[in-house]
Amino acid sequence: MNRSFRRSVLVLWFAAAVPASTLPVWADDVKDCRSGESAWSDVGHSFDACRRLADDGDPRVEYKVAVMYNYGLGVPPDYGEGSVWLLRAAEQGFAPAETALGDMFRQGMGVDRNYAEAAKWYLKAAEQGYGSAQHALGAAYAAGRGVPQDDVEGYMWLSLAAARLEPKADADRDAVAARMSPEQILTAEEFAREWKPAPPS
């Protein structure tokens, strides 16, 4: 029986066997720590719960802990510690963490600024179909930041991000298109049509 399963069983046992008023504080927060990324802003109060669970290696929880450190939710802000937890989640192929880690390398937050490293993590998440990573990667190709400058690649990734309704991705794609030839645009659009998401790498 693995540690994550044992802890889940323990929480369920607590809920069934102990009156709600005497449950440990972290028991009610387990579902928040393991929920989707959209709920992270609600869990600043449960840092201790998430930090406990993060040791089990669940990338969703590791990502939540990283966000809490980066934004000071329930713990003093610490970009260095946030980057450590993002790396743990990203190494398991969790696209939100890969994208956030790319952002930290791009901005030099908690790590030395490294555009090539940022693009590497954006690519891993973009290949899974994660829209914000596709946007960031497209912008990197368009600017030649961390990757060789390539308008066709930039247009393709920005088009994919725009199809996922990433804010401003369509405007950024159109700005790149303004300096491309019709042939380049046709090639980029064909690449975008043929693109398929890949499993985490």
What is the pLDDT at residue 13? 31
What is the pLDDT at residue 7? 41
- Say if 3 falls within a structural domain: yes
What is the pLDDT at residue 160? 98
- Say if 18 falls within a structural domain: yes
What is the pLDDT at residue 45? 54
- Say if 67 falls within a structural domain: yes
24-46 residue pLDDT tens: 333 344 567 776 544 444 545 57
- Say if 31 falls within a structural domain: yes
- Say if 8 falls within a structural domain: yes
- Say if 198 falls within a structural domain: no
Alpha-helical (H) ranges within the chain are 3-17, 30-33, 47-54, 59-71, 79-90, 95-107, 115-126, 131-143, 151-163, 169-177, 182-194
The domain in which residue 84 lies consists of 1-92
- Say if 56 falls within a structural domain: yes
- Say if 19 falls within a structural domain: yes
- CA distances in angstroms from 69 to 44, 62, 127, listed in the order given: 10, 11, 27
- CA distances in angstroms from 5 to 2, 9, 34, 194, listed in the order given: 5, 6, 13, 40
169-188 residue pLDDT tens: 999 999 999 999 999 999 99
What is the pLDDT at residue 34? 73
What is the pLDDT at residue 201? 85
- Token couple for 122: 């954006």
What is the pLDDT at residue 130? 97
What is the pLDDT at residue 17? 35
Crossing angle of the two packed helices 79-90 and 59-71, in degrees rounded to 10: 160
Among the listed residues 57, 6, 11, 10, the one whose alpha carbon sits nearest the alpha carbon of residue 65? 57
Q: Please state the domain count of the chain.
A: 1
DSSP characters over 95-124: HHHHHHHHHHHHHTSSS---HHHHHHHHHH
- Residue ranges of the chain with pLDDT lower than 70? 1-31, 35-45
